[in-house]
Amino acid sequence: MTSEEIYEKLQPIIATYLPEDVSAENINKDADLTQELNINSAHLVDVVLDVEDVFDIELSNNDLESLRTVNDAISIISDKLDKS
């Protein structure tokens, strides 16, 4: 799966957890999940759980610690898919 395909599948997952004052149009590859998109820590966990379900992967605590931007998520997902 290409990074663009991952991005396309990731956008609606993230959009589900955006607060009302943040538009889904703000979801770009460089967007910081907590700072720019205002996703709180509880919803970040939900994003991770949805990502695990949609992509059929398992994320480790180390993966979660390095998850800051949409690009980080794409990179982590791509890495996990390559190893499976």
pLDDT tens sequence across 59-69:
999 999 999 99
Mean pLDDT of 27-34: 97
pTM of the model: 0.94
Domain count of the fold of the chain = 1
Whole-number CA gyration radius for the chain: 12
In whole angstroms, what is the distance from residue 40 CA to residue 27 CA?
15
Q: Tokens at residue 50, please?
A: 């949805």
Domain that holds residue 63: 3-83
CATH number at residue 67: 1.10.1200.10
